[in-house]
Amino acid sequence: MGSHTERKGHPLEGVGPGTTLDGRYTTQRRIEQRRGAERWTAEDTTLGRSVILLCLPDDDSRRSALLDSARRAAGVETPTLHRVLDVGRENGVAWVVEADSTAARSLAELVEEGGLPADEVRRIVGEVATALESARQRGLHHLDLRPEDVLRTVDGEVRLRGVATSAALAELDDLESEDASRRDAVGVVSLAYAGLTGLWPGPDETSLGSAPRVLGGVAAPSEIAAGVPRDLDALCRLTLGEDQGPTSPGDFARQIAPWPSRQVAGRSTLVTSSTVDPRRSAAVPPVEVAPAQAPPTPSPTTPPLTPAALAAAERQGHDGGDGELVEGDEPSEDDTPTHVMERPTGQPEAAASPDSTQTQVLPVSAGSTPSPAGPAAPGPTKPSAASGPGAGAGAAAAASAAGAAVAGAGSAVAGAVGRLGSRVGTLGRQVGDRAAEKAAERRGFHDRITGPNAPGLTPDGERLRPGTGRDAVLEAPAPLVPAQPLTKDESKTALAIVAGFLILALIIGLWGVSRIGSKTRDLDFGGLPGSSASNNPSSSSSSSPSASGSQEASPSATTGESMQVLAADGYDPEGDGRENGTLAPRVFDGDPKTSWQSEGYASAAFGGLKKGVGVSVDLGPNVAARTVKLTLNNTADVSVYIGAEKSLKDATKVGEKDGANGTVTFPVKAGTQGQYVIVWFTQLTPDDKGRYRAILGEVEVTN
């Protein structure tokens, strides 16, 4: 890897507002700084359109890799991938022109603006994974996924920028294909985590906050957000916490499919079901005491207090004295709190005596405290004519009533505090029980999806989405035997039917055995030599020896169709073993314009470093090919081998050609079998930059 200087926070030399590059791109505003590169909004004055410029210093060691990766990314025709329009170098700056994206919102912005529904997160990451898988088939990877790279347009379309170019800036473009695929898969899972929780689980810096760390990784999305689907939650937990999960973006897309085809609107996973902020500790609300109010004056027709009324008043004072309904109680007409008071009744107050008093129950409004002063209006009073011993007895009775009222108020406040403590304790127990249930549910789900014989696994070890396969709830099977035994006639009929099926199966089996070998000469056994000759003895016995020899050498019946290529990789046994292996899948993508090319060398003989390099194509075990057709994009000396192993040591040489260019076809001798076709270059020619390379557009194998 080359070295570069991180310029975070410092402007790029040679680029500023109003800078014009290539005589047509005028920069306007810087929108991003990342890994020493900058993104600017710009105006294409030639075509009159807005674009984005990705700029890097021309003396940066990553400059060539960035421009080369941008050229390769421009050839991938996938709608979700952000388009690369142009590349160039000028005035000490290397730049890549991208399509305008200023009207789109990044995933980070969407999350910060209130979050997304779970189905919209599934749709966005599903589209991103599908686009990355398409790029992976062309040997391109992102390798530096962040929420700022995923965009949603005003029409709801998903766009992903930075494929190949981000890998070059991160200096990860030389990763092995399997490692690169896994890294992008983990990146897509991280995007799903960010969309669900609003937090970033990866080590790289983004505009989002960091996810909370727990033992073994990060907290599961379901522990942070509400309404997280179980399959996405499990994938995030396995991938980010247990180093399992999908091995490629395509693997991830298959596991979360299907997803909506259009933008989804709904409740965000970041919105909790409670109005209380879950990040703050719960506090006991203060108890508010209403100002004291005078109790209403009872009417003269108030009935006398009976023992039943006294018991009801006592229960009311203990259970609902503060006028607040306990959870689960239903309001009724009798829920008005009361206080027991004694005061004179039946006669005017001036003529009252101790013998004429009786106990009465007076209703009091919720939350109020009876006044010990009685209902008399404030202000000075004139001495009454009835003052004297009778008046003293009335004052004593009033003082006794005031004491009873104070005692009742104190009992009500004590009851309210006691009920408040009881409710807080009950709420705490409910929260603890709920947390224990959720923890047990998560542990059970984890055991079901990770156990060796878990119902969430197919016999091949692939994971099923929750609620499918053996994990689904099945109805009880119908009984296999009738409730009543069969009659004699019914038993005979059943035996006759079974016997008939057995006889029919025996007849079909005997007929099939008699036909074995009768049509062998009309079948194609995948290129096994001599099959037609061995099954036609009359023709072989009547032919001459020379004809018989030619028959043994001739291939079996062929179809002339192209064979399926399973994989391709660079072949460099005398070097690092890779030789641009990430570009090898281009040789079977059906497009001759996309090609694999070797590394650049100083001479046609590889600078004396090695004898040759090439590409290995995997066709599957024991394949008999008939022809191998190559599409070469420059002149080179090339040979073709077929073998069971990816090595020239025991491989069979099909043919060779010096100075080959364009389309070259090599016939394969009958009887040659193997799994790998190795295209081996031994002499190179220079490209337009003066470097000696081998360039291979397509490899087509027919049978």
- Using CA atoms, how far residue 139 sits from 5, 177, 615, in Å, is 28, 8, 14
CATH number of the domain within which 80 lies: 3.30.200.20
Order of strands across the sheet with 93-99?
20-21, 25-34, 37-44, 49-57, 93-99, 84-90
pLDDT band at residue 237 under the 50/70/90 scheme? very high
**Mean pLDDT on 173-184:** 91
The backbone region for 433, taken as left when phi is positive above 0, alpha when psi lies in -120 to 50, beta otherwise, is alpha
**Which range marks the domain in which residue 82 is found?**
20-99
CATH number of the domain within which 151 lies: 1.10.510.10
Pairwise pLDDT comparison (215 vs 2), residue with the higher score = 215
Which of 578, 580, 571, 569 shows the shortest CA–CA distance to 691? Answer: 580
In a domain, 401, yes or no: no
Highest-confidence segment of 380-389, 466-475, 537-546, 578-587? 578-587
Which of 632, 683, 633, 628 shows the shortest CA–CA distance to 651? Answer: 628
Q: What is the pLDDT of residue 403?
A: 56
Provide CB contacts within 8 A for 251, sequence distance 6+.
185
pLDDT band at residue 384 under the 50/70/90 scheme? very low
pLDDT at 578 over 70: yes
Does residue 248 share a domain with residue 112? yes
Q: Which long-range contacts (CB under 8 A, 24 or more apart) does 569-572 make?
A: 569/177, 569/615, 569/616, 569/618, 569/646, 570/596, 570/598, 570/613, 570/614, 570/615, 570/616, 571/613, 571/614, 571/615, 571/616, 571/646, 571/678, 571/680, 572/610, 572/613, 572/614
Q: What is the pLDDT of residue 515?
A: 78
Q: What is the pLDDT of residue 14?
A: 79
CA torsion angle 696 698 699 701 (round to 10): -160
Does residue 122 share a domain with residue 71? no
Q: What is the pLDDT of residue 513?
A: 84
Pairwise pLDDT comparison (306 vs 155), residue with the higher score = 155
Q: What is the pLDDT of residue 564?
A: 87
End-of-domain residue from the set 256, 275, 308? 256
For tokens 């009207």, the residue is 103
Dist. CA 555–CA 624, nearest whole Å:
10
pLDDT at 631 over 70: yes
End-of-domain residue from the set 216, 238, 256? 256
Q: What is the pLDDT of residue 697?
A: 93
**Mean pLDDT on 522-531:** 42
In a domain, 527, yes or no: no
Q: How many residues does the chain have?
A: 703
CATH number of the domain within which 671 lies: 2.60.120.260
Dist. CA 280–CA 319, nearest whole Å:
32
In a domain, 530, yes or no: no
Q: What is the pLDDT of residue 522?
A: 45
Tokens of 269: 């996973």
Degrees, nearest 5: CA angle 566-572-575: 150
DSSP-assigned letters across all residues of 327-380: TT----TT---EEEEEEE-SS-GGG--GGGEEEEEEE--TT--B-TT-SPPSS-
Determine contact, residues 33/9, Cβ cutoff 8 Å: yes
pLDDT band at residue 490 under the 50/70/90 scheme? confident
Percent of the chain with pLDDT over 90: 44
Digit-coded pLDDT (tens) for 262-312 = 999 989 988 544 433 333 333 334 434 344 444 444 444 444 444 444 444
DSSP-assigned letters across all residues of 592-631: TTS-EE---BSSTTGGGS-S-EEEEEEEEEEEE-SEEEEE
pLDDT at 205 over 90: no
pTM here is 0.44
Q: What is the pLDDT of residue 620?
A: 87
pLDDT band at residue 485 under the 50/70/90 scheme? low
Digit-coded pLDDT (tens) for 326-339 = 333 443 334 444 34
Pairwise pLDDT comparison (454 vs 117), residue with the higher score = 117
Q: What is the pLDDT of residue 195?
A: 95
In a domain, 361, yes or no: no
Q: Side chain identity at 153, as an amino acid letter? A: T
pLDDT at 389 over 80: no
In terms of C-beta density within 10 A (0-12 exposed, 13-18 middle, 19 or more buried), how is residue 298 classed?
middle
pLDDT at 555 over 60: no
Does residue 176 share a domain with residue 144? yes
pLDDT at 653 over 90: yes
Does residue 47 share a domain with residue 115? no
In a domain, 294, yes or no: no
**Mean pLDDT on 107-111:** 95
- Check whether the bond before 258 is cis (ω within 30° of 0): yes
**Radius of gyration of the CA atoms of the chain, in A:** 43
Tokens of 428: 């705490």
The DSSP code for 463 is B
In a domain, 1, yes or no: no
Q: Say how far residue 601 (Cα) sits from the centre of its chain.
A: 43
Digit-coded pLDDT (tens) for 322-370 = 433 333 344 333 444 434 444 444 443 333 333 443 444 344 443 344 4
Does residue 110 share a domain with residue 248? yes
pLDDT band at residue 561 under the 50/70/90 scheme? confident
In a domain, 59, yes or no: yes
Domain count, the chain: 4
Does residue 42 share a domain with residue 171? no
Does residue 664 share a domain with residue 634? yes
The DSSP code for 102 is T
Pairwise pLDDT comparison (566 vs 540), residue with the higher score = 566
Q: What is the pLDDT of residue 21?
A: 93
Tokens of 275: 């109005």
Determine contact, residues 107/147, Cβ cutoff 8 Å: yes
In terms of C-beta density within 10 A (0-12 exposed, 13-18 middle, 19 or more buried), how is residue 213 classed?
exposed
Does residue 111 share a domain with residue 94? no
Q: What is the pLDDT of residue 609?
A: 86
Highest-confidence segment of 508-522, 555-569, 652-666? 652-666
Which phi and psi angles does 518 have, rounded to 5°?
-75, -25
pLDDT at 75 over 50: yes
Tokens of 628: 């191998």
Dist. CA 450–CA 119, nearest whole Å:
25
pLDDT band at residue 320 under the 50/70/90 scheme? very low
pLDDT band at residue 651 under the 50/70/90 scheme? very high
Does residue 112 share a domain with residue 88? no
Does residue 611 share a domain with residue 597? yes
Q: What is the pLDDT of residue 593?
A: 87
Determine contact, residues 642/669, Cβ cutoff 8 Å: no
Digit-coded pLDDT (tens) for 424-446 = 566 666 666 766 676 666 666 55
Dist. CA 660–CA 681, nearest whole Å:
10
End-of-domain residue from the set 395, 428, 463? 463
In a domain, 476, yes or no: no
pLDDT at 115 over 70: yes
The angle, 0 to 180 degrees and rounded to 10, between the axes of the packed helices 177-197 and 230-241 is 130
Q: What is the pLDDT of residue 601?
A: 87
pLDDT at 621 over 70: yes
Tokens of 115: 């979050």
Does residue 116 share a domain with residue 91? no
Dist. CA 621–CA 646, nearest whole Å:
12
Buried b (16+ CB within 10 A) or exposed e, 516-537: eeeeeeeeeeebbbbbbbebee
**Mean pLDDT on 628-648:** 93
Which of 197, 220, 209, 201 shows the shortest CA–CA distance to 269? Answer: 197
Three-state helix/strand/coil letters over 387-448: CCHHHHHHHHHHHHHHHHHHHHHHHHHHHHHHHHHHHHHHHHHHHHHHHHHHHHHHHHHHHH
Determine contact, residues 677/642, Cβ cutoff 8 Å: yes
Does residue 170 share a domain with residue 135? yes
Q: What is the pLDDT of residue 400?
A: 56
Task: Supply the mean pLDDT for the chain.
Answer: 74
Percent of the chain with pLDDT over 70: 62
pLDDT band at residue 580 under the 50/70/90 scheme? confident
